[in-house]
A = this chain, B = another copy of it.
C-alpha cells in the first residue's frame, strides 16, 4: 500500500538538499523553504525521504541531525551510507566524503546495520584561509 505523493513542499525540500554542497540541519532547510510549509511538515518530509532512501541522516558531533542526498550511499547488504563525513570545527560545514573506502573489522558477533563515521577537524577550504 502506502502511496507516495510528490507534494510541492516535498519537492522543494528534496531540491534544497540536492543542490546544497554540504549536509544541512532541519533548521537550515526550513530557513530555505521560504515558508512554503510548516516547520513540522519539514520534519515529516525529511522522515519520508529517509525512509524512501533518497536522503540520509548524519548526526553531527554536537548532536544535531543533518541530512544529505543519497548520491553515493551504498544501500546493498542492508548496510546503509557507509561513507565518511567531515565536520569542520571552523566553518561548521558537514560534508559527505564519498570517495573513500572504509575498512572496519567489527567483531563478528555484532550484527551491523548502519555505519556512522564522522571526523572533525579543519576542512581544506578553511586550511587555505588560515
Contacts and interface: CB of A to CB of B under 8 A. Distances in A.
A63 B63 contact: yes
Contacts of A121: 110-114
**Copies of this chain, whole number:** 2
A124 B110 contact: yes
A86 B84 CA distance: 17
Given A104-B102, A106-B84, A116 B120 contact: yes
Interface of A: 59-65, 84, 86, 89, 97, 100-107, 109-124, 127
A62 B59 contact: yes
Given A100-B105, A103-B103, A104-B117, 12 more contacts: A59-B60, A84-B104, A86-B110, A102-B104, A107-B124, A109-B127, A110-B121, A111-B122, A111-B127, A113-B120, A114-B121, A115-B119
A120 B82 CA distance: 11
A36 to B, nearest CB: 26
A128 to B, nearest CB: 9
Contacts of A116: 61, 116-120
A119 B124 contact: no
A105 B101 contact: yes
A110 B123 contact: yes
B100 A107 contact: yes
